[in-house]
Amino acid sequence: MTLPGDQPGHVGLFSESASRVVVSVAPERATAIEDAAVEAGVPFTRLGETGGPGVVFDGLFEATVAEIAAAYEDAIPKLLAG
């Protein structure tokens, strides 16, 4: 995955600024989605590809899908447990 722009990695990955979405499409549909964005004047960046047991974020970190899922699922219970 390659993050766009000159923002710090944590901003590009976790910012909840308005009007930003992540879309996942089948590889054969990627060009059609990109063409539609260009036609509509909507900026876009291809971030990467999905699949496999791990995730690599632009040299920022690597993790398995299981580790990421556990971090997501355990975040609120850990926070509430103090």
pLDDT of res. 23: 85
Task: Write down the pLDDT at residue 43.
Answer: 85
Antiparallel, parallel or unpaired: β 61-64 and 54-57:
antiparallel
Handedness of CA 40, 41, 42, 46 (dihedral sign): positive
SS (H, E, C) 49-74: CCCCCEEEECCCEEEEHHHHHHHHHH
Q: Are 9 and 3 in contact (CB under 8 A)?
A: yes
pLDDT (0 to 100) of residue 37:
93
Instruction: Output the pLDDT for position 2.
Output: 64
Residue-level pLDDT, tens digit, the chain, 82 residues? 666 667 787 777 777 777 778 888 998 999 999 999 999 999 888 877 888 888 887 778 889 989 989 999 999 999 999 7
* pLDDT computed for residue 80 by the predictor: 94
| Helices and strands (H and E) in the chain: how many | 3, 2
